[in-house]
Amino acid sequence: MREIRELESLGLLDTSDGMVNVPVAALDAVYDAVVDYEEEAAGEEEFDDGFDDEADDQV
């Protein structure tokens, strides 16, 4: 939740209506924050989403 609040304070998402509204340009940052939150909640050290992170960096 901390990451989501930080992203909201930066204007990258809006939770004013009780849902998380995310501009397309901020989807990667929000996805990473949610995955980080889920990892912390589950106590997992590493989460493999099945995507090649290096390919994402090349875009």
Q: Which domain holds residue 30?
A: 2-58
Of 49, 15, 57, nearest in space to 31 by CA: 49
Total number of domains in the chain: 1
Model confidence over 36-47: pLDDT tens digits? 877 777 775 555
Q: How far apart are CA 54 and CA 21, in angstroms?
A: 27
Model confidence over 4-52: pLDDT tens digits? 788 788 887 888 888 877 777 777 877 888 888 777 777 755 556 666 6
